[in-house]
Amino acid sequence: MKKLFVFLGVVIMTIGSAVRAQEVHSTVPLQKSSWGDAKNTEVTDYIPDVSLDMRGGYSQDFGGNTGQFIGDGLYLDINGKISPHFSYSLNQRLASSYYEDNSGFNGTNWLTITYENDYFGLTFGKDAVFVGSFEYDAYDLDSYYEMNSGFYNTFDCWQWAVSAAWYPADDQEVLLQISNSPYSFGEIGLFGYALGWRGAWDFYESYWTANLWQYSSDSYAKSLNLGNRFTFGNFSVDLDLMGRFCDIEAPYSGFTAMLAPSYEISDWGRVFAKFGWENGYDEDYMFYGAVFEYFPLKDTRDVRLHASWASNSFGDNFINVGVTWKFDMTSAIKYLTGRKDR
């Protein structure tokens, strides 16, 4: 705990020093984001965006007739630029109820440095393994554990990797990644490979990947994952189709299909549901649930209240109510130092 406070103190002092420093100007356009056109501007802001993200609440398991108040997680999130084309990102679990080991790099979700221009990007560091699924793509604190697929809840997604992205057209990405294998189970020298495509149109988004994950010196799990999102105004629906083919037991092998409709209620709320099926177990596994999210603050979603219900074919039945809070440390320090306009 003492190390945590020292680390947070260093982060706060670093932000304060950056805020007080003279803002750097560049005539080079900002880097292209990984999702959309490059934005032409003559100003590059090197002040990092730093936030503390937490979620907690009350969870009731009706199957086991148990309930408790619980802190789901406390995460430190840092994003910033070194130059107009180089950026960095860190997401560190300071505490979590769902991960057994949060020490050192085991507690690091991602730690990356990226070079990016209008045509391609290169990323190195600890990162998420590319898997084509919109359920899988969700941030930990935006996901509800009890209504997730078995694959999501067991897959060892955070791996050291090198990744490349090519942008052949607006809102189109071709992805390539080499990583440590998520199926290594502690064995050294096993690797994973991913080839992917992300695209966006007016009403449709894709996230598709083909994967090879080495689980012994001469054996690979083969996986094809097709994430699809359809959007019609405030209504959207995700359709994920995922197949994993190897000699390991479920959910490391098998097939997953999910349907997740969602509706945005103006700026203050969202309701969504999930219906899923997985095979490869002794019997087919079905999981389903629904969530209502409420955003009580005007013009921001930094505070979110939720109520969720989840169940499955194994007889589990859960409800969870709680709050998610993103403490924007950068904005707070800018406000305190009189730099609200930054």
| pLDDT score recorded for residue 239 | 98
Dump pLDDT digits (tens) for 247-270.
888 778 899 999 999 999 999 999
Residue 26 lies in a domain: no
Tell me whether residue 43 is in a domain. Answer: no
- Does 28 reside within a domain? no
Span 301-336, pLDDT tens digits:
999 999 999 999 988 999 999 999 999 999 888 888
Percentage of the chain beyond pLDDT 70 is: 86
Higher-confidence residue of 101 and 190: namely: 190
Range name among 25-29, 47-51, 308-312 with the lowest pLDDT average? 25-29
pLDDT band at 33 (very low <50, low <70, confident <90, very high): very low
Asked if residue 4 is part of any domain, the answer here is: no
State pLDDT tens for residues 141-178: 999 999 999 999 999 999 999 999 999 999 999 999 99
30 found inside a domain: no
- How much of the chain exceeds pLDDT 90, in percent? 70
| CATH classification of the domain holding 245 | 2.40.160.10
What is the 3-state secondary structure of the chain? Answer: CHHHHHHHHHHHHHHHHHHHCCCCECCCCCCCCCCCCCCCCCECCCCCEEEEEEEEEEEEECCCCEEEEEEEEEEEEEEEECCCCEEEEEEEEEEECCCCCCCHHHHEEEEEEEEECCCEEEEEEEEECCCCCCCCCCCHHHCCHHHCCHHHHHCCCEEEEEEEEECCCCCEEEEEEEEECCCCCCCCCCEEEEEEEEEECCCEEEEEEEEEEEEECCEEEEEEEEEEEEEECCEEEEEEEEEEECCCCCCCCEEEEEEEEEEEECCCEEEEEEEEEECCCCCCEEEEEEEEEECCCCCCCCEEEEEEEEEECCCCEEEEEEEEEEEEHHHHHHHHCCCCCC
Q: 17 pLDDT exceeds 70?
A: no
Does the residue 142 lie in any domain? Answer: yes
Q: What is the mean pLDDT of residues 203-222?
A: 95
Please state which of the ranges 20-34, 101-115, 156-170 shows the lowest mean pLDDT: 20-34
The answer to whether residue 1 sits within a structural domain is no
Across 270-277, average pLDDT: 97
Which range marks the domain in which residue 266 is found? 55-329
Band of residue 38 on the pLDDT scale cut at 50, 70, 90: very low
* Residue-level pLDDT at 322: 97
Model pLDDT, residue 247: 84
Does residue 42 fall inside a structural domain? no
The pLDDT of 282-297, averaged and rounded, is 94
At residue 262, the pLDDT reads 98
**What's the number of domains the chain is made of?**
1
**For residues 177 and 97, which has the higher predicted lDDT (pLDDT)?**
177
The confidence score (pLDDT) of residue 35 equals 33
Q: Over the stretch 59-71, which tens digit does the pLDDT of each residue have?
A: 999 877 889 999 9
The reported pTM is: 0.85
* pLDDT higher than threshold 70 for residue 48: yes
